[in-house]
Structure 1
Amino acid sequence: MSTEWTVLPERYDTPDATALRVDYYYDVASRYYRRPIRAEEIDEGILNDRLERLSPPTGEFVVGHKGGKPAACGGVLMLDGERAELTRVFVRHAFRGTGGAALLMDALETAAVGLGARHMVLNTRLDLVEARALYVRSGYREIPAYCEGPYMEIWYGKELRTDDRATDGTAR
């Protein structure tokens, strides 16, 4: 079996994408509530997450596979004519440190550029330290709040390069 990463657009509701979203919710919600999240809470979160917007022309969802196994996901949502928001970025714990996070970020930025974005923004929580480190490594810098909500504690932004984006979604 190949140990190569592939990161490509995929519907948010495929079996692989759904399993990754369940793991994402389990990880972030369990940290927030400081207890294991219950299955019904995950189901409610997924049911109400409005990810149907993560389809062109308003957004895109991508899934990363390593060696054929679903390992990472994320989405971009157009906020206006030039600004996209990064959302649901997640790499399964077993696949962290294998190079997929950088590929995932590149694929998400490429998707945003393809939708017309020139700027990417995101919000996250302070306790999601791995995600925050990934964003900073990827060139994101802290910005003033552009939205508000119960799970938003820090905001990041980045100007997107609109040239020389890879489109094949593969790397070793």
Structure 2
Amino acid sequence: MTHNSEGHPGWVVAPTPVRRSEAAALLREYYVEVADRYRLLHLGRRSTPTELERELAADSADDLIPPRGLFLLGRYDGEPAACAGLRALGDDVVELTRVFVRPQWRGTGGGQHLLIAAETAATALGATRVVLDTRLDLVEARALYRRHGYAEIPAYNTGDYAEIWYGKSLSPQPRA
């Protein structure tokens, strides 16, 4: 499964093993950015290398491996440029996580492509609903989710950094 559209021919999003080096590099950049934004806002400083390594080690990404999860890698003109993960929370609900577009490709439609590919993949996994949590300071992500039909929902988890939750119903995939 890949996703590409006429409007942004440079973007291709496809499932990729989360253990692949380019996936690991994107996840590291994601963690550095969101951790630094959080610490700058709340503590007035960036993350230390020790904090980052500890947090990366604690979050193995094993939940993004099929059959209970999936990692999507977005490429822009062939370059690894974005990522998103899906993890099954139940028989018909998946959680969208680790949505990230490298700064140099922001504004080129990457977030939209990730969401469309993630929703397509979620439907293929049998999901009828996608949920996610995020932080209030991640205003760009929140705007993207709202633009694509995600609505605020009650909390479904108690994550340390979860401050706002969104959900979206999906159309079931026709059975062959």
TM-score for the superposition, normalised by structure 2 = 0.87
**Are positions 1:10 and 2:20 aligned together?**
no
Q: Secondary structure at the match of 2:94?
A: strand
State the AA in 2 paired with 1:58: R
- Displacement of 1:41 in angstroms is 2.4
Q: Secondary structure at the match of 2:70?
A: strand
Q: Secondary structure at the match of 2:55?
A: helix
Q: How big is each residue's C-alpha offset from its partner over 1:104-150, in whole Å with a ceiling of 9 and x where there is no partner?
A: 11111111111111000011110011111111111100001111122
State the AA in 1 paired with 2:104: A
Cα distance in 1, alignment partners of residues 56 and 12 from structure 2: 25
State the AA in 2 paired with 1:129: V
Give the 5 Å matches for 1:98-113: 98-113=108-123
State the AA in 2 paired with 1:11: P
- Displacement of 1:40 in angstroms is 3.0
Match of 1:116 in 2: 126
Match of 1:85 in 2: 95
Larger RCO of the pair (alpha carbons < 8 Å, separation 6+): 1
The aligned length equals 162
Match of 1:45 in 2: 55
Percent of aligned pairs with the same residue?
A: 50
Cα distance in 2, alignment partners of residues 44 and 116 from structure 1: 34
- Displacement of 1:163 in angstroms is 4.3
Unaligned stretches of 5+ residues in structure 2: 1-8
Tell me if the contact between 1:139 and 1:158 (Cα under 8 Å) persists in the aligned partners.
yes
Match of 1:64 in 2: 74
- Displacement of 1:36 in angstroms is 2.4
Match of 1:31 among 37, 42, 52: 37
- Displacement of 1:84 in angstroms is 0.5
**Are positions 1:22 and 2:36 aligned together?**
no
Cα distance in 2, alignment partners of residues 56 and 19 from structure 1: 20
Cα distance in 2, alignment partners of residues 53 and 104 from structure 1: 18
Tell me if the contact between 1:84 and 1:119 (Cα under 8 Å) persists in the aligned partners.
yes
Q: How big is each residue's C-alpha offset from its partner over 1:26-70, in whole Å with a ceiling of 9 and x where there is no partner?
A: 110001111222333222222211311111110100000101111
Q: Secondary structure at the match of 1:158?
A: strand
Cα distance in 2, alignment partners of residues 30 and 100 from structure 1: 22
- Displacement of 1:103 in angstroms is 0.7
Superposition CA RMSD, Å: 1.4
Tell me if the contact between 1:59 and 1:112 (Cα under 8 Å) persists in the aligned partners.
no
Cα distance in 2, alignment partners of residues 37 and 106 from structure 1: 32
TM-score for the superposition, normalised by structure 1 = 0.89
Cα distance in 1, alignment partners of residues 60 and 21 from structure 2: 17
